Structure 1
């Protein structure tokens, strides 16, 4: 197993980040064109804690080398199962996901959190990401290590692109909803 982890601080409040999180796969985010569908499977609120729990199925078109498809079969379409928890009291979003497609060959378990940063809790949000990547190649340790290392590197590249795309969503959300709030104030 190999582990990828990263962290950064967004210059947006937790309220802005936790709201924009639901828009990160929107059509105008040109960094996530590989995401072709997001289906909400269930959504519940725990009446005692106020925690919103959401299960989603994310469908993607992956750029998989043709030799991999020939060797392992399958298509470039893949599915990811995600469970998220939004805790409005502690102001923490936790998202846990794992791949469903090719999980018998490569298992990827990712955990992402958003919570107010210690730098400026009212205006900035701390983002943490960890992915545990396990290649299931039987007893071939050298091949297993190479597959895991390549997967971590690809995950690192995709994570960077994902953060850039989320920044775009955050900027757009601030602009759109800032203008909406300004219009509502003018009506008063």
Structure 2
């Protein structure tokens, strides 16, 4: 068994990152992820947790020496179960490959949490993948596991850059919506003030007509 570890940081709050996670795919850099389907979603109001089960479809080139083992299949499927815990402020994602699972089994755990050093403005990302090959030859097992660790490293780097671009784009969009909302609220307040001023003027005029005094 080989283990892949990665720790990264995003310069955004945990609330923002955990919300933007649902918009992570597709992005222009993580092109190996071609499909994400939600299979189940459950909210537990007592625990304050949201559990989501998804099927993730990936497509990327595989080495020629591995082609004969998988029959030329270039798509792979991953089952992912994520839990957002609002009380603990964690987003935990656990996944396991469904394709080639009798030949190679990959258990991955990802956790997003506020960075202890800058909990308000930065999010820590921890990723651990346990990779085990089941080939009859030890040399083949080592080769499969080494290839998987290398691929995880490549995808982790692309994933970081891709998610950063998603976070930046969403920030622009959400700020644009917030700005438009504020403009709309200002216009509503202005109209309301105009209406109220008109009502007060008419009320004062009527009071004079009917001889009311303060």
Same fold by TM-score greater than 0.5: yes
User: 1:16·1:174 contact (CA, 8 Å) conserved in 2?
Assistant: no
Deviation at 1:73, TM superposition (A): 1.5
Q: Match of 1:101, SS?
A: coil
The gaps in structure 2 that reach 5 residues or longer are 186-214
1:25 maps to 25
The answer to whether 1:176 aligns with 2:173 is yes
* Structure 1 range deviating more: 147-156 or 160-169: 147-156
TM-score by length of 1: 0.93
Ranges of 4+ aligned residues in structure 1 off by more than 4 Å: none
Query: What is the alpha-carbon root mean square deviation over aligned residues?
Result: 1.3
User: 2:30·2:155 contact (CA, 8 Å) conserved in 1?
Assistant: no
| Higher percent of residues as helix | 2
Cα separation, 1, equivalents of 2:145 and 2:13: 35
Cα deviation per residue 1:136-168 (whole Å; 9 max; x = unaligned)?
113x22321222122111211111111110101
Q: Match of 2:162, SS?
A: helix
TM-score by length of 2: 0.82
The answer to whether 1:186 aligns with 2:187 is no
Deviation at 1:16, TM superposition (A): 1.0
2:95 maps to 97
* Structure 1 range deviating more: 35-44 or 67-76: 67-76
* Structure 1 range deviating more: 148-157 or 48-57: 148-157
Q: Match of 1:104, SS?
A: coil
Matching residue within 135, 140, 143 for 2:140: 143
Cα separation, 2, equivalents of 1:115 and 1:58: 23
Matching residue within 101, 121, 124 for 2:122: 124
How many residue pairs are counted as aligned between the two chains? 185
The gaps in structure 1 that reach 5 residues or longer are none
Task: Give runs of aligned pairs for residues 39-188 of structure 1, distance below 5 A.
Answer: 39-138=37-136, 140-188=137-185
**Greater gyration radius:** 2
Q: Could you say which structure has the greater relative contact order, defined with CA pairs below 8 angstroms and 6 or more residues apart? A: 1
